[in-house]
Structure 1
Amino acid sequence: MLLTKPHKEYAELVDILLTRKMVVEDISYAKRKLSQVGYYRLSGFWFTSRRTAIVTENGIRQSQFIDEFLPNTSFNEVYKLYLFDKKLRLLLLDIIERLEVNIRSVMAHELGRIDPLAYKNKDFIKKDSPRVRRNYDNVWLPKLQDEIKRNKAEFIIYHRENDKEIPFWVIVEIWDFGTLSKYYSFLKGNNQKKISKKFGIDHVTFGKWLHEINILRNLCAHHSRVWNKDFNAITLPNTRVETNERTSQRVFSRILILWYLIQQTDSKNYKWLEKLKDLIDTDFPDVPNAKLEFMGLGEYTTLPIELMKQNYNEST
């Protein structure tokens, strides 16, 4: 299999950008940032700032990006967009972590009161789905057992060395969001409802939200671009915020969901929302054809923080 493109040194990569009419304010700075971040990673942030041309393929005329940047496309501003996305991911990870701990606690409390070893009890798992049963028996539970054998947390070592069963409220401390989301998907509907009602949403929608939040969490943890990413369409919480069809497939939909869920148990804490608004207001750069609406914000020019607060307050 042939390589599609030859290797380029950083100076050559800067020359490519200049040839394509990007404004490079400081060549040394650009080379340094390309060495730190990588040309390919940064290209995802200038991709839509290129000119388009009408081309004909197989008799069909269509618009296509060409290798020339729009006027005033600045390397410095593109790098600021990269930093904006990085800060956005860190904020998202912060609220996802809080939500993960919260869901763990609720799940362990609600199911643990019925059976302290509910996570090992197959009576809690759907019986009408052979696929779920196989996944639980052959994948999820063995993976958890392997983690228990390897884990070096003192509380796990204590239970392991003393041959003690690990209760639900202890075992959840070594679960990640994916383990949690998958376990919820295995549960019978009545058990799911015990958890979802604490977060003010029906059990089916809650399960779908958990799955999508886990996808978002993995993207953030692995440094993938999220600010303008296309996601799966998803049901949004009831809100005073104006949304459109595009919203449900962009990161703003996940922000609305995360905010709704976290407010069910922490309704007076607006600090995270204010940090996010400040990021959008102060750090979103001036990059041609990079617009806030690509986050799913629609006509909003900033985060509609007051509407988001009103929505929660009036729904409780």
Structure 2
Amino acid sequence: MTDRIDYTKTPLTLAEQVARLKERGLVFDDESKAIAYLFNISYYRLRAYTYPFQENGEDSEHNFIREDIYFKDIIDLYCFDRRMRSLIFNAIEKVEVAMRTKIVQVYAESTGDSHWYNDENLYRFGYEDLMEHIEADVNRSNEDFIKHYNFRYNDPPMPPSWMALEVVSFTTLSRLFQSLKLDNRKEYITEQFGLKKVAILENWLHAISNLRNCCAHHSRVWNRRFIVSVSLPYNTLYPFMDRTTIGQIRTNKLFAALSCIAYILDIISPGSDFKKHIKELLKSDCRLLALKDMGFPKYWQSLPVWRER
């Protein structure tokens, strides 16, 4: 570990921010317009979009490695990413709602217990930690139905599953599904999402919930290496990808996660326009956009999962 030093950098005015970017090789058509952009989209936020085009060694000056990159190109890339996040976030909502519904219905019906999620015998690990997360999410909720339950009922202290699991985060829901014991209920839910292995659905939920959090917090998804890599199966119930293609996909890039979302939406939301909107967005006039930066193979549109059904 290197020795830590004091942080001595001072704040820059908007004009100084433009001057620094110019000094490093970024081209500006209209500096006053650029200043207005930087007052709405911070210099530091845009750094995520300039970084791949700069020298970034420990002792480098962070100069741009190309002389033809304009401030407008960076803004276009930022806007592309924002639109992509919006499409993804709206699509994940459908996946999340379907998952909540299926878990609650299957387990409530099979146990005949409104509060089945409190039963430690249903879990293979992580029970106490999971209950802490569920309780925290429920207590944080401002939903009227949670307030009504707390006002009207004394016992059990927590609301029934169809209330409690409606307000927990997608991350908590993903943890719950992973923690549940492997049995025919988990296998049945997995099949409803067109998958044969429970472990694959567990992985997809983990990866998609991580992607959802990136979108919710306005974090970059373009050119990102996600911390949760996606497991891509070749033996799905419906057409997905062939084994050769799967071996070539970068599973920590956006394309892998998008393919999983597209596959699920074809099942739970037939007629969804998600794939159409993704294809339209990728045609956008963004000079710096390269599909390989997001893990897209050249022939991606011909893959079964990306064909229109």
CA pair 185-306 structure 1, distance change in 2 beyond 3 A: closer
- Residue number among 260, 269, 280 corresponding to 1:278 in the alignment: 280
Superposed, which structure 2 residues align to 1:115-264 within 5 Å? 115=111, 116-126=114-124, 132=125, 135-137=126-128, 139-163=129-153, 165=156, 166-190=159-183, 191-201=185-195, 202-231=197-226, 232-238=228-234, 239-240=240-241, 242=245, 245-264=248-267
Q: Is 1:100–2:99 an aligned residue pair?
A: no
Q: Which residue identity lines up with residue 51 of structure 2 in the other structure?
A: F
CA pair 83-305 structure 1, distance change in 2 beyond 3 A: farther
CA pair 152-48 structure 1, distance change in 2 beyond 3 A: closer
- Tell me the CA shift for residue 68 of structure 1: 3.3
More strand by share: 1
Q: 2-side partners of 1:100 and 1:140: how far apart? A: 18
- Tell me the CA shift for residue 20 of structure 1: 2.0
The match for 2:7 is: 3
Q: After superposition, what is the alpha-carbon deviation per residue over 1:24-47, rounded to whole angstroms, capped at 9, x for unaligned?
A: 011011111112111121111122
Q: Which residue identity lines up with residue 118 of structure 2 in the other structure?
A: K
CA pair 47-123 structure 1, distance change in 2 beyond 3 A: same
In the alignment, structure 1 segments of 5+ residues that lack a partner are: 58-63, 127-131
Q: After superposition, what is the alpha-carbon deviation per residue over 1:147-194, rounded to whole angstroms, capped at 9, x for unaligned?
A: 444533222222222216533223222122011101111100114223
- Tell me the CA shift for residue 100 of structure 1: 0.3
- Tell me the CA shift for residue 270 of structure 1: 3.6
In the alignment, structure 2 segments of 5+ residues that lack a partner are: 235-239
Q: Percent identity?
A: 25
Q: 2-side partners of 1:52 and 1:179: how far apart? A: 37
Q: Which residue identity lines up with residue 172 of structure 1 in the other structure?
A: L
The match for 2:37 is: 33
Q: Is 1:17–2:21 an aligned residue pair?
A: yes
147-156 vs 106-115, which moves further? 147-156
4-13 vs 199-208, which moves further? 4-13
Q: 2-side partners of 1:150 and 1:220: how far apart? A: 21
Q: Is the 8 A contact 2:249 2:256 kept in 1?
A: no
- Tell me the CA shift for residue 234 of structure 1: 2.4
Q: Which residue identity lines up with residue 206 of structure 2 in the other structure?
A: H
CA pair 78-309 structure 1, distance change in 2 beyond 3 A: closer
Q: Is the 8 A contact 1:277 1:305 kept in 2?
A: no
The match for 1:72 is: 68
Over the residues paired in the alignment, what is the CA RMSD in angstroms?
2.6
How many residue pairs get matched?
290
Q: Is the 8 A contact 2:137 2:168 kept in 1?
A: no
Q: After superposition, what is the alpha-carbon deviation per residue over 1:46-104, rounded to whole angstroms, capped at 9, x for unaligned?
A: 22223699x9x9xxxxxx88513402101011101001111111111111111000000
* Larger RCO, structures 1/2 (Cα 8 Å, 6+ apart): 1
- Tell me the CA shift for residue 309 of structure 1: 4.6
Q: Which residue identity lines up with residue 22 of structure 2 in the other structure?
A: L
The match for 1:87 is: 83
